[in-house]
Chain A
Amino acid sequence: MSITVGRLSLAHPLLNASGTWDAIEAHRLFGEATPGFAALVTKTVTPEPRPGNVPPRLASSRQGLLNSIGLPGPGCDVFVESLLPRVARLLENTPIICSVGGFSVDDFVRTVALLDGHSDCDAIELNVSCPNVESGCASIGGDAGETERLTRAVRAVTAKPLFVKLSASVVDIAAIAAAAEAGGADALVCINTVKATAIDRRTGKNWFGGGGGGLSGAAIKPVAVHAVLACREATGLDIVGVGGVESADDVRDLLAAGAQAVALGTALFRDPSLARKIAAALV
């Protein structure tokens, strides 16, 4: 069931969504770094180290998970010099898609230029849709002109397959998708978490320490299906469908909507072996 998405050849269409898997810890705890994934998508790397948002970072929801993690990470220099090679050694032949975030075009360009020279990075995903940081990612991805400008600037510094991860929390996702295509993207990733928050019932104020939050899980699958359909109609780009995938039927729905590959996210938290189970059911 091999496929090609964004010029990247994969053994099958299942991968993980960025920010939902730590290959190093999975290998230590379970003995497998990427069980059932055709490619690993890394947690989003930013130019500078970030502590992430002040807790609380999680809130429960009947049909999903609310989170406000805030892109914690070591920064691109440490990522490229030590973390990425360490992950690559564990993965052997599984491709690595490096997710990149930032707060300006220059931020993205700096990180992508570093990754372009690294043989362990097989493709790059631009996170222009994180709802949990104060500015940058989502504000770029919420504007078609900014998205095209960013994609074009990044395209100029890398020949690697370039994926752009979109938000459904925008007025017109099709316009953003077309802008990414015009800027030189190879593929789209639809969708990131949907902007959402929770209330602290003791205070009546926002639950999250970091402000904004995003909803993932089963509740957003119909939103993801709609986004994939809209982007399929608006562009000729390959698409990775993401959002609320829990079963082989969910995967089939997103593939039918126009995706070439599908990423698992929150459902991995309750079953880290889910990709393998779904892959077996798809055969």
Chain B
Amino acid sequence: MSITAEPATRLGPFSARVTAVEPLGGLALVRLGLDPRTALGQPGQFHMLRNVSGHDYLARPIGLIELADGVGFVVDPSSAAGELAGPTLELLGPLGTGFDLSPVRAESTLLVAAGFGLTAMPGVARRHEHIPLIAGLRQTDHVPLLGLLEGVTIVAKMIAPELVTAPLEVALATGQYTQVLAAGPSGLGVAVAKICAEHQVQSQIALEAPMACGFGACYGCVVEIDGEWKRCCIEGPVVDGARLVV
């Protein structure tokens, strides 16, 4: 398995207008006036986003979503990141490593994603219809987030405090799956990687970490990879799960 980085094609940030903000239960889908052919990278990669008229001093790492009719992202409007709802954003990216989709087969690959990690999966689902997904949601009013995942087959929907790891154990015990792609909070990523290792199933894990730059300069986003603190924006965010269970 090779997880590779797509080079960003632009040195500086570029601008995008927010074209619509649509309620998504307790969350919001922010649509951007961008061409998906040029703006998006691989599923799992991220952009640094900043509202040019907002309060945030620095940009935030956000995964853009490949929608059926454009490009967008999801925010919690009640959080500090809610100011990314527009009207004009600066974006830098795509950055970091994305999922290696070459070994993915809908019949033998399982997706596991929780929270904002779910937004990494539409790009995978678009290329592999009926791919199975175990979804984790923080609260019931986040369930509409699943509407973005057209084409996936949801095999389990867990709402906190229920954990995605329980149905993952059951699914891997069937022996059907040879590959797991997971995205979500880092604690979830490590737990999924360990379960996959126990079942001798390969895993690619998209990690989350706060970032100041997104391109390796600040060393603020370190996570434990290979038993050491390494930069999530450079080594990841998508890493081979085996590197998380050293």
Q: Give the chain A neighbours of B177 by CB distance below 8 A.
A: none
Mask: chain B, 166-187; 1 = CB below 8 Å from A; 0 = not:
0000000000000000000000
Q: Find A21's partner among B50, B59, B217 (CB 8 Å cutoff).
A: B217
Residue interface mask A150-161, B partner, CB < 8 A = 1: 000000000000
Tell me the residues in window 1-37 of chain A with beta carbons closer than 8 Å to chain B beta carbons.
19-22, 25-26, 28-32, 35
Q: Cα distance A266–B50 when bound, in Å?
A: 14
User: How many residues on chain A are close to B (CB under 8 Å)?
Assistant: 40
Chain B residues with CB below 8 A from A60, complex form: 56-58, 80
B57 close to A62 (CB less than 8 A): yes
B150 part of interface (Cβ distance < 8 Å) = no
B13 within 8 A of A: yes
**Nearest CB in chain B to that of A56: its residue:** B210
Contact A217 B57, beta carbon cutoff 8 Å: yes
The reply to whether B7 and A28 form a contact with Cβ atoms under 8 Å apart is: yes
Binds A, one of B23-31, B104-112, B195-203, B218-226: B218-226
For chain A residues 245-272, which have a beta carbon within 8 Å of chain B? 266, 268-272
**Do A30 and B218 touch across chains, with their CB atoms under 8 A apart?**
no
Contact indicator per residue, chain B 204-244, by CB within 8 Å of chain A (1) or not (0): 00000111111111111111000011000010000000000
Interface 1/0 per residue, A59-79 and B, CB below 8 Å: 011111101010010000000
Contact A25 B234 (CB under 8 A): yes
Is there a chain A Cβ closer than 8 Å to B71's Cβ? no
Q: Give Cα distance in the complex from A43 to B92, angstroms.
A: 23
Q: Are B57 and A57 in contact (CB under 8 A)?
A: no
Docked pose: A52 CA to B229 CA in angstroms: 8
Task: Contact check, B7 vs A269: say whether CB atoms are below 8 A apart.
Answer: no
Tell me, rounded to whole Å, the shortest Cβ–Cβ distance linking B64 to chain A. 17
Q: Say whether B212 contacts A58, CB under 8 Å.
A: yes
Query: Is B8 an interface residue when CB atoms closer than 8 A count as contact?
Result: yes
A270-B219 contact, Cβ under 8 Å, with A58-B210, A67-B212: no
Is chain A's binding surface mostly helix, strand, loop or mixed?
Answer: loop
Q: Which of B92, B95, B223, B229 contacts A72 (CB 8 A)?
A: B229
Chain A residues 192 to 226 lying within 8 A of chain B, measured CB to CB, are 217-218
Residue in B12, B216, B220 whose beta carbon sits within 8 Å of that of A271 in the complex: B12
| Shortest CB distance A198–B (Å) | 12
Query: A236: CB under 8 A from chain B?
Result: no
Complex CA–CA separation, A62 to B54 (angstroms): 10
- Name the B residues within 8 Å of A55 (CB-CB): 209, 222-223, 229
Inter-chain contact B57/A29, CB cutoff 8 Å = no
Are B95 and A29 neighbours in the complex by a CB distance under 8 Å? yes
Docked CA distance A187–B90 (Å) = 37
User: With a CB–CB cut-off of 8 A, which chain B residues contact A268?
Assistant: 213, 217
- Is B48 interfacial (CB 8 A cutoff)? yes
C-alpha spacing A58/B209, complex, angstroms: 10
- Other-chain contact of A52, B7, B216, B219 (Cβ < 8 Å): B219
Total number of A-B contacts with CB less than 8 angstroms? 112
Q: A69 contacts B218, CB within 8 Å? A: yes
Q: Check if B213 sits within 8 Å of A269, measured CB to CB.
A: yes
What residue in chain B is nearest A73 (Cβ atoms)? B219
Using CB atoms, name the residue of chain B closest to A217: B57
B222 partner residues in chain A, CB cutoff 8 A: 52, 55, 57, 72
Return the chain A residue nearest B80 by Cβ: A60
Q: Do B216 and A269 touch across chains, with their CB atoms under 8 A apart?
A: no
Contact present for B12 and A273 (CB under 8 Å)? yes
Chain B residues with Cβ below 8 Å from A56 are 210
B11 CB within 8 Å of chain A? yes
Return chain B residues, CB-CB under 8 Å to A270: 13, 48, 50, 57-59, 90, 92, 213
On whether A67 and B11 interact (CB within 8 A), knowing A58-B210, A269-B213, the answer reads no
Q: Is the CB of A29 within 8 A of B58?
A: no
Partner pick for A32 among B11, B58, B223, CB 8 A cutoff: B11
Please report the C-alpha to C-alpha distance between residue A207 and residue B5 in the assembled complex, in whole angstroms. 32
Contact B212 A272 (CB under 8 A): no
A residues 71-107 touching B (CB-CB < 8 Å): 72
Using CB atoms and an 8 Å cutoff, list the residues of chain B in contact with chain A: 5, 7-8, 10-13, 48, 50, 55-59, 80, 90, 92, 95, 209-223, 228-229, 234
Q: Add 19 more A-B contacts to A60-B56, A69-B218, A269-B214 (CB < 8 A).
A: A19-B218, A20-B217, A21-B217, A22-B216, A25-B234, A28-B7, A29-B7, A30-B11, A30-B215, A51-B229, A57-B219, A58-B212, A61-B57, A69-B219, A218-B57, A269-B212, A270-B50, A270-B92, A271-B13
Interface pairs A-B: 8 shortest CB-CB = A273-B12, A25-B216, A269-B213, A58-B220, A30-B11, A22-B216, A273-B11, A57-B220
